[in-house]
Copies of this chain bind each other. A is one copy, B any other.
Amino acid sequence: MSLNNEPKYIQLKEFIKNYISEGQLKADDKLFSEHELANRFQISRHTVRKAIGELINEGWLYQVQGKGTFVANTEGESKRKSKLIGVITTYLKDYIFPDIIYGIDEVLSKEGYTILLGHTNNEFEKERNCLLNMLNNNLDGLIIEPTKSVLPNPNIDIYERFKAEGIPIVFIHAYYNNFEASYVMEDDVLGGYMATRHLIEQGHQRIAGIFKSDDLQGLGRFQGFVQAHREHNLTINEKHILWFSSQDFDPLLLDDAYIQRFIHRLKTCTGLICYNDQIAINMLEILRTQGIHVPGDCAVVGFDNSELAQQGEIKLTTVAHPKEKLGRKAAASLLELINGTKECIQEKMEPELIMRDSTQTTN
């Protein structure tokens, strides 16, 4: 300690901090007196006071006049947990998100955690804002649904900062290829496979598909779609596949000439797999206006089993999203990461096919 270039009071601070960290002194134990420290280290009492003063400010020690200097209770200070969990989804109100959030909250609130809520609207810029916001709040963990999971994510630097700070992250629905992390998601490939196999088993040979191109779920469902075709020795006509991205979501399905041309392309198809229920419901309406009867002329399958699927005239056959269950599992996984029980959890949940009117061949 003597040959060091650092100031003496800093060296003393380090010594005291080490002494405490090593466990030689516990909370409320009495430290050596200022006089003793001065003698022992051959420095002035003033220098000792300087060191102790800073350690008091940093929360390591406290002093009582006439009694001495004592080790502070570090439990509540340096090691403190915020008991906050960040939850970031793409959207908030529609669809499956309330259920997912409820599932997450159900598990976390039992353990005394509180949810910090954010949503990205599936926009990178908003995702960045949310992440930065949460980084400032000393989270214990983060559950997040990726934004445009297929595209390279420009916010990986922020994710890396979470990792650097030791804040565990659980992705739901998808994950980023350029960032290794835990995830809990439904098995989209299997879902796409089940939906397609269902149609094939009902005798459909020419099946069209509408898939989202910029998230992993879309790609996965398409992959399952392909797999089912292969398994039954059916070829896929590329003209029967429509790809869309988040941006052109709304215009696409309202009155665009684009969709009209697509409808025309799939005249020969008797089945249609839609990326999700929302698309499927929109397609039901479009098919109706085109005089195409569902399921008679064309059977339709959606994904997610959202409330939409059960609302309309024609109840929708759909691949059910685990929703609340997924939320619970994501939360439970995060807790395991926080507690250090596990280091990395990557889990895919098996989807379930729910058959309703839109594929029922009830004649």
Contacts and interface: CB of A to CB of B under 8 A. Distances in A.
A117 B137 contact: no
Contacts of A137: 82, 84, 114
Interface stretch (A31-39, A98-106, A232-240, A282-290): A98-106
Contact of A57 (B57, B94, B97, B118): B57
Interface in A150-199: none
Nearest to A103: B93
Contacts of A112: 129, 133
Nearest to A310: B311
Contacts of A94: 98
A119 interface: yes
B83 A133 contact: yes
A133 B116 contact: no
A98 B93 CA distance: 5
Nearest to A312: B311
Contacts of A115: 116-118
Contacts of A83: 133, 136
Interface string A116-127: 111100000000
Interface residues of A, number: 33
Nearest to A138: B137
A105 B84 contact: no
A99 B115 CA distance: 18
A84 B97 CA distance: 21
A310 B114 CA distance: 33
A52 interface: no
A298 B182 CA distance: 55
A310 B308 CA distance: 11
A105 B91 CA distance: 11
Contacts of A129: 109, 112
Contacts of A116: 84, 114-117
Interface string A301-318: 000000100110000000
A134 interface: yes
A92 B93 CA distance: 11
Contacts of A311: 307, 310-311
A134 B114 CA distance: 8
Contacts of A84: 116, 137
A118 B136 CA distance: 20
A133 B118 CA distance: 19
Given A87-B117, A97-B98, 19 more contacts: A53-B53, A82-B137, A84-B137, A92-B102, A92-B105, A93-B98, A93-B102, A94-B98, A98-B98, A105-B117, A105-B119, A109-B118, A114-B116, A114-B117, A114-B118, A115-B118, A116-B116, A307-B307, A307-B311
Interface of A: 53, 57, 82-84, 87, 92-94, 97-99, 101-102, 105, 109, 112, 114-119, 129-130, 133-134, 136-137, 307, 310-311, 324
11 contacts: A57-B57, A83-B133, A84-B137, A92-B98, A92-B105, A93-B98, A93-B99, A93-B324, A105-B119, A114-B118, A114-B133
